[in-house]
Amino acid sequence: MAVSGASGSGQVRSLDTLVRLGRETRAPGAQGQPDAAAAPCRLALPDGMTVPLGCDAVAAPAGFGPQLLPRLPRVGCVYADASTWWWIVPADSDYALQWPAPALYATGAVLPDGRPDGLPTLIHRPEGTVPYTPPIPLYLALCRVTGTTPAWSRPVNV
């Protein structure tokens, strides 16, 4: 699906581009938003890591962390505090995916305000320079440990 500009410039934007533009306007430090100094904390990647696909994070309760690890073909950067494990995934890994509760999706790997446990620490760093855990295996593993049926396997109500 694509949308052409109303100005008649002939520029066409895909749905993916429109979603990304919408997120950029909500990102901390974006025009009309609070400046970066007042913004919530972002998970800091280790030195030498590259993010060619952007960077988001998926949080899960700490008790699920050890259950998820053996179910994943590759584990990227993982951060933890007393109550939560944070998995780094490529940006837009929530596009057309509803992550199962109690997972939390954090666009830009920005942590929510008011973290009672303080800042998470890095507990796993992958070999190489790419920090990502593949999002589909992580999604399926989270569905498994939470007893949630993946969205694409649910009956369609018409």
128: left (phi over 0), alpha (psi -120 to 50) or beta: left
Query: Is the distance from CB of 71 to CB of 144 less than 8 angstroms?
Result: yes
Please state the rounded mean pLDDT for residues 115-125.
86
**pLDDT confidence of residue 154:** 75
Tokens 């199962």, residue?
A: 100
- Give the predicted TM-score (pTM) of the model: 0.74
**pLDDT confidence of residue 47:** 95
Please state the rounded mean pLDDT for residues 54-79.
97
Q: What are the pLDDT digits (tens) for 75-116?
A: 999 999 999 999 999 999 999 889 999 999 999 999 987 676
Of 37, 60, 40, 27, the residue nearest 115 (C-alpha) = 40
**pLDDT confidence of residue 39:** 52
Rounded CA-CA distance 148/142 in Å is 8
Q: What are the pLDDT digits (tens) for 49-61?
A: 999 999 999 999 9
